[in-house]
Amino acid sequence: MRKIKMLLAVMATAVAFNAAAQFRQDRSDYEYMFKAEVGYMPFVMNLGNEGPNGYYIDDLQHAAGVSVVNGVNIKQDFFVGLGLGCNYVAVPKEIMQGKFANGWLCPMAFVDFDYRPLDVEWSPMVGAKAGASYLMADSPNGNTLTPYIELSTGLNWFFRYEYRNMERNYLSLYLELAFAYTQQATFIPIRLGVRF
Q: What is the pLDDT of residue 196?
A: 84
CATH number of 28-195: 2.40.160.20
Backbone angles phi, psi at 130, to 5 degrees: -145, 130
Residue 178 pLDDT more than 90? yes
pTM value is: 0.75
Cβ atoms of 90 and 61 within 8 Å: the answer is yes
Provide the CA 164 distance to its chain's centre, in angstroms. Answer: 24
Burial class for 170, CB neighbours closer than 10 Å (0-12, 13-18, 19+) = middle
Identify the H or E element spanning 18.
helix 2-22
Question: Which of 21-25, 41-45, 117-121 is the least confident region?
Answer: 21-25
| pLDDT tens per residue, range 119-154 | 778 889 999 999 999 887 766 566 778 899 999 999
| pLDDT tens per residue, range 1-24 | 565 556 555 555 554 444 444 444
